[in-house]
Amino acid sequence: MAPVTNARHIFREIPQDSHMLTPNLSGAPVPGKDLVHDTSETIDLDNVPLKGGILAKALVLSIDPYVRSRLREQHIKGYVPAFKLGQPIWNIGIVKVIRSEHPDYKAGDYLYIWDVPFADYTVFTEIPPRTTKLESNKGIPWSAWLGVLGMPGQTAYMAWKEYSRAKKGETVFVTAASGPIGSVVVQLAKLDGCKVIASAGSDAKCDDVRALGADVVFNYKTESTKEILQREGPLDVYWDNVGGESLDEALLAMREHGRILQCGTISNYNDPNAYGLKNYSMFFQKELQMFGFLVFTLYPKYIDRFLADMVPLVKEGKIKHREDVTKGLEHSCQALVDVLSGKNHGKKVILVAED
Ligand SMILES: NC(=O)c1ccc[n+]([C@@H]2O[C@H](COP(=O)([O-])OP(=O)(O)OC[C@H]3O[C@@H](n4cnc5c(N)ncnc54)[C@H](OP(=O)(O)O)[C@@H]3O)[C@@H](O)[C@H]2O)c1
């Protein structure tokens, strides 16, 4: 077969003001400027050297908020490495093996890989850590393996089991509750018999969260988080996806000895003037505990339990999920901007190619 185009989504420029030595990166990336779609390369699928590795075709790629933090200068330290200028961005994806020289993989295998370049095709001369062969999709769409059954679902499940210590009848507050992490936390908390208060950024998202079984749902853009938490609390557990003002209000509403699960701070990922906490003293006054965590660390301990518990729950519809599919690799940057500004409605994935 003649060589074919290998389209790639390239990190061309660092978004404005990201040179600051701070984790709070200013300015969302601009499609066509900071990230550009490049179709200048071709690949010979039959003959490209594999050097003992595999040739893979990207099927579905994940867009997650943390991708923003990788669009920075190389020398700025972070919990994940910076992307390289001039190279495709990377993230979690489902790929199909086209050719293989690797003893563990064969053509036709489907793989969940944590670091897939945003390109139509990639030669992996080395297999990235935590690569999982998906024996079959078990009747669940591949894209769901990036959301409810992928990294976000794993984050929700693993940290909930490790840190929440939630008991029946306790009250839990969840922010960004319609997203892939928040929506799983809402459902796990309900399965544990908790009262769930949940917030989201639009009325349509709030309807979704209500359908998941949350007891009190509000749009934090049009209703007062403070009033609702004061009325519906006190909180035993706060699952914090956003940081900032919501965390501050939650601190005031926590019950003594409450637990805060600090999952992310998306309210300030593009904001150099991050909101400063005013209610910090609640930690000692109420003897609160706060747990920061990264899914990578919890993964080895929980992955088997996660799959054993969650695959049947998802298959039977006992854990629900919603996807927001963007078709075409060329829209990846806009998809990231949409997630960072709350325009996604469900787990954002890029459908690169049909199987
Ligand atoms: N600790 C870990 O290992 C780990 C792993 C993965 C993700 N995370 C973090 O978990 C959080 C949720 O991730 P996800 O994948 O489930 O995201 P997501 O819900 O798909 O997308 C992010 C959502 O955050 C909300 N948001 C955006 N700007 C906001 C703001 N200024 N204030 C409040 N909410 C805002 C938006 O929803 P609304 O429209 O409802 O505002 C947006 O849809 C993020 O902070 C992410 O970085 C942590």
How do residues 248-266 score in pLDDT, each as one tens digit? 999 999 999 999 999 999 9
Alpha-carbon distance values, 292 to 164, 222, 239, 301 (Å): 12, 29, 11, 17
Contacts of residue 87, Cβ cutoff 8 Å, sequence gap at least 6: 10, 11, 117
CA 113 to chain centre: 14
Ligand 1 atom closest to 177 (CA): 40
Which pLDDT tens digit goes with each residue over 40-58? 999 999 999 999 999 999 9
In sequence order, what are the residues at sequence separation of 6 or more whose Cβ sits closer than 8 angstroms to the Cβ of residue 276? Answer: none
- CB within 8 Å of 227: residues ≥ 6 apart: none
Residue-wise pLDDT tens digits, 323-339: 999 999 999 999 999 99
Taking the C-alpha atoms of residue 107 and residue 55, their distance in angstroms, rounded to an integer, is: 9
Atom of ligand 1 lying closest to residue 64 CA: 15
Beta carbon of 64 within 6 Å of any ligand 1 atom = yes
Q: Ligand 1 centroid to 46 CA: how many Å?
A: 41
Question: For the chain, what are the domain ranges?
Answer: 4-147+322-351, 151-295
- Report angle CA 14, 18, 20 to the nearest 5 degrees: 145
* Residue 274 in contact with ligand 1 by CB distance below 6 A: no
CA distance 76 to 80: 11
**Is 150 a pocket residue for ligand 1 (Cβ < 6 Å)?**
no
- What kind of fold does domain 4-147+322-351 have according to CATH? Quinone Oxidoreductase; Chain A, domain 1 (3.90.180)
Q: Find tokens 């699928």 and name the residue.
A: 45
Over its length of 355 residues, how does the chain's per-residue pLDDT go in tens digits? 899 999 999 999 998 754 433 444 557 899 999 999 999 999 999 999 999 999 999 999 999 999 999 999 889 888 899 999 999 999 999 999 999 999 999 999 999 999 999 999 999 999 998 899 987 666 788 888 999 999 999 999 999 999 999 999 999 999 999 999 999 999 999 999 999 999 999 999 999 999 999 999 999 999 999 999 999 999 999 999 999 999 999 999 999 999 999 999 999 887 767 889 999 999 999 999 999 999 999 999 999 999 999 999 999 999 999 999 999 999 999 999 999 989 999 999 999 998 8
Expressed in angstroms and rounded, the spacing between residue 340 Cα and the centre of ligand 1 is 7
Give the total residue count for the chain: 355
- The CATH superfamily assigned to 151-295 is NAD(P)-binding Rossmann-like Domain (3.40.50.720)
Q: Any residues with CB less than 8 A from the CB of 325 and at least 6 apart, and which? A: 143, 349, 350, 351
Measured CA to CA, the distance from residue 40 to residue 8 in angstroms comes to 9
Backbone torsion region of residue 130, taken as left when φ is above 0, otherwise alpha when ψ lies between -120 and 50, otherwise beta: left
DSSP conformational letter for 187: H
pLDDT in tens, 92-121: 999 999 999 999 999 999 999 999 999 999
Ligand 1, atom 22, lies closest to the CA of: 339
Query: Which residue, among 126, 116, 156, 148, has the nearest Cα to 332 in the 3D structure?
Result: 116
Confirm or reject: Cβ of 205 under 6 Å from ligand 1. yes
Cα–Cα distances in Å, from 224 out to 172, 231, 246, 248?
17, 11, 10, 13
Pocket test for ligand 1, best of 92, 130, 181 (most atoms within 8 A of CB): 181
Mutate to test the pocket of ligand 1, among 241, 269, 321 (most ligand atoms within 8 A of CB): 241
